[in-house]
Structure 1
Amino acid sequence: MADDAPKFRSDKPGSDKDDKPADPPPPPPPPAPPAKWPWVVAGLIVVGFVAVVLVQILVPKPDVWTDDAYVTVHYATVAPRVSGQVNGVMVDDNQLVHAGQVLATLDPRDFQTSVAQAEAAVARDTAQVTNASANVARQPPLIEEQQASVASAEARLAFSKADARRYGNLAATGAGTTQQRQQADTTTAENQASLDSAKAALEASRRQMQVLQAQQASSEGTVKADRAQLEQARLNLSYATITAPFDGMVGNRSVQVGNYVGPGAVLMTVVPLDRVYIEANYRELALRHVRSGQHVTIHVDAYDIDLDGIVDSVPPASGAAFAPIAPNNATGNFTKIVQRLPVKIVLSPNQPLAKLLRVGFSVETTIHTGLENVVADQENSPNRITVH
């Protein structure tokens, strides 16, 4: 029974268990080799980025894009041509108008008075022309009358000379008296004076004809001047009614009834929305393959829509060339700056959404150039100046 009793492990020093050496720990596993795939991925990304950059820089692109583009139009500033007080404004801001529609009117009474005065001046001077014409028409009979007087005086003078010779012969032979001879000589002298007077009157009548003709021409010139003044007065009267120059929308109205305005004062503007176009400012390096007639995609930021357009023309100069203060590069402090040229793009017809465009909208334009060889075309062109 004693042999079957459980044997207990003794943890005390000097026991048989402590005399047996412990097993050594297993060696650590060898380190895993570093993974290579992150470096491969990073290298591929760098190579791909460099390739994309080189393609963007070196490979020509058939489509050129810019967001420096705006909707613009040649609008009309409505201003009076004469001064006056505004007595009527027939339109309001943002109102659609048609060509010839009355926009505003000025007080016409001053202009009506000027027309009446000009008409009276024309009537007065026309009567003077009629009087001058009558005097000119009356002068030829007066000249004929003077000619008849000259002929009569010549006849009397011839008779008196013959009579004087007869009395002179009679006096020399003693058949006549000295008194009779003296009377005959006196009569001859009187008739000679009458003839000279008649000839002078004839010459004066002929000269008077020239004077009357000059007076007639002067009167006719005065009438022409009066008619011109009358036409100007009528024009001024018509300018009192201010009309729209073309179809469009009214904007920037600044006039009110009762304002006194002078010539050139801005009353409002009329914007022809059916004639808007795009002014896209492209870098000069992007215009290598751009020419007129190419298709353009226009993205309108305001409505997030795309419209079709056509390149109308490339301008003759950059925007800096027309700046009020032109850049001066003659000082030696020069920095080369790539210029931008405002390319004119017109909208393709038959686009209902184009009616949404307003002047000043920002747009993005993409010109589909097709990599056309503009340089070679110009080399073979007979035109002195490029038109594309």
Structure 2
Amino acid sequence: MEETKKLGNNHRKKILAAIIFSIIAVIGLIVVYFYVQYKNTHITTDDAFVDGHIHTVAAKVSGTVKAVYVDDNQFIKAGDLLVEIDPVDYDVKVNEAASGLSAENAKLSEMDARIESAKKQLAERRAAAEAARADLELQEANLRQAELDIRRAETLYKKDVVSKERYEKTTTQYNVTLAEVKAAQEQLKQAEKAAETQQAMVKQAAAARTSQLSLIQEKEAVLRAARLNYGYTKISAPSDGYITKKSVEGGNQIQAGQPLMAVVPLNDLWITANYKETELERVRPGQRVEIKVDTYPGEKLKGSVDSIMSGSGAVFSLFPPENATGNYVKVVQRVPVKIVLNKDADRQHILRVGMSVEPTVIVEAKDSQQGRNRKTDAERKD
């Protein structure tokens, strides 16, 4: 009786164990099934971090820092005054450049007055030359008439038609007219020469004015540069953001190009996730992404795939691999993927540039199936 009872208990234990094992196996299969389904539709990496724009604020001119108006981690708006350099030296240069420009402009005004006077004198010289030319034409006409008169008088004198006195008077008149023509010719020559000389003076003055204009342009450029450098003594924020890496204090002597601080805007952050190249066949721009932040375990942000970098991280490193030399060991490459956050996903600005995150790309079933099909086709070809 006891043996029968003992056998019954053992049988029940075996049945119970079998049931428990079956339940565990079913649960395991269910877990494996859902795990496989999850892996087929979710691509996760922990090689990811928060990225964003970092604006380096640097001095454009050298000098002594007069004042610093911000501190580390302070929020500022675009255009806010950050640093001021002592402007005294640059103000002096502006005044010197302005004085130099004024002096050259005054010289230009004097040149314009001289050119105007020279043009008036040129007009007078040309008028005198025209008058001399008209007088010469008149005297030449008189000479032609005198030549006719003397020929007629000579003919009549030989025929004793006119007296000797009349003939001599006509000859004298011809000689006088001839002398007047020569005098008019000389006067015209001198008048034309005076006009040419005055014309040359006008051209010379115009050339000097052109040179003066070039000099004025140089002085204007110097003044613009001086004013620009004076403006550079006030350094303003390039964008909204937070101050970081501030390395300047009042009284410091700084040089042009020296970095003073950085401005990090937190309203335009994204995620740079380095996925394995074997996982990228299923990643597409526009796919949904869930993002876990290591700093805030309870936070889960939403985003989407923006783009895939056109090369692996190794290619763009400072020392890219040289696989043509030495022993080659194949290593799975990682390719950066840019993930953008949904609008208002980080409304409280809890993210900081450089934070570690764990993004999960949610792959559609059809994309997953297409990826597997491409992989199978590639294996068949091999």
User: Shared fold by TM > 0.5?
Assistant: yes
Matched residue of 2:47: which SS?
A: strand
Paired residues in the alignment total 337
Aligned to 2:159: none
Give the aligned CA root-mean-square deviation in angstroms.
Answer: 3.7
8 Å CA contact 1:77–1:270 kept in 2: the answer is yes
1:68 aligned to which of 27, 43, 47: 47
The CA distance in 1 between the partners of 2:289 and 2:348, in whole Å, is 14
Aligned to 2:328: 334
Higher helix share: 2
Structure 1 unpaired stretches of 5+: 1-34, 378-388
Matched residue of 2:45: which SS?
A: strand
Q: Please tell me whether residue 324 in structure 1 is matched to residue 346 in structure 2.
A: no
Q: Please tell me whether residue 289 in structure 1 is matched to residue 268 in structure 2.
A: no
Aligned to 2:361: 367
Aligned to 1:269: 262
The 1:340/1:354 distance shift into structure 2, 3 A limit, reads farther
Q: Please tell me whether residue 202 in structure 1 is matched to residue 195 in structure 2.
A: yes
2:337 aligned to which of 343, 359, 384: 343
The CA distance in 2 between the partners of 1:339 and 1:77, in whole Å, is 31
8 Å CA contact 2:301–2:346 kept in 1: the answer is no
TM-score normalized by structure 2? 0.76
**Offset at 1:371?**
4.0
**Offset at 1:253?**
0.8
Alignment of 1:240-251 (within 5 A): 240-251=233-244
Amino acid at match of 2:284: R
8 Å CA contact 1:290–1:372 kept in 2: the answer is no
**Offset at 1:152?**
2.9
Q: Please tell me whether residue 95 in structure 1 is matched to residue 74 in structure 2.
A: yes
Q: Which has the larger radius of gyration?
A: 1
The CA distance in 2 between the partners of 1:274 and 1:302, in whole Å, is 19
Alignment of 1:124-135 (within 5 A): 124-135=103-114
Amino acid at match of 1:338: V
- Residues 189-212 of structure 1: per-residue CA shift (max 9 Å, x gap): 443222112112223333443333
Aligned to 1:119: 98
**Offset at 1:96?**
1.2
The 1:376/1:145 distance shift into structure 2, 3 A limit, reads farther
8 Å CA contact 1:289–1:372 kept in 2: the answer is no
Amino acid at match of 1:366: T
The 1:121/1:209 distance shift into structure 2, 3 A limit, reads same
The 1:97/1:180 distance shift into structure 2, 3 A limit, reads same
**Offset at 1:222?**
2.9
Alignment of 1:132-147 (within 5 A): 132-147=111-126
Matched residue of 1:313: which SS?
A: strand
Amino acid at match of 1:255: V
88-97 or 144-153, which moves further after superposition?
144-153
8 Å CA contact 1:164–1:185 kept in 2: the answer is no
**Offset at 1:157?**
3.6
Amino acid at match of 2:330: K
8 Å CA contact 1:77–1:268 kept in 2: the answer is yes
8 Å CA contact 1:88–1:104 kept in 2: the answer is yes
Amino acid at match of 1:67: D
325-334 or 314-323, which moves further after superposition?
325-334
The 1:135/1:359 distance shift into structure 2, 3 A limit, reads same
**Offset at 1:219?**
2.9
Amino acid at match of 1:95: Q
TM-score normalized by structure 1? 0.75
Amino acid at match of 1:355: H
The CA distance in 2 between the partners of 1:350 and 1:337, in whole Å, is 38
The CA distance in 2 between the partners of 1:214 and 1:371, in whole Å, is 81
8 Å CA contact 1:96–1:247 kept in 2: the answer is yes
Provide the identity percentage.
35
8 Å CA contact 1:164–1:181 kept in 2: the answer is no
Alignment of 1:18-37 (within 5 A): none
Q: Please tell me whether residue 153 in structure 1 is matched to residue 97 in structure 2.
A: no
The CA distance in 2 between the partners of 1:263 and 1:177, in whole Å, is 95
1:227 aligned to which of 220, 239, 257: 220
Q: Please tell me whether residue 80 in structure 1 is matched to residue 73 in structure 2.
A: no
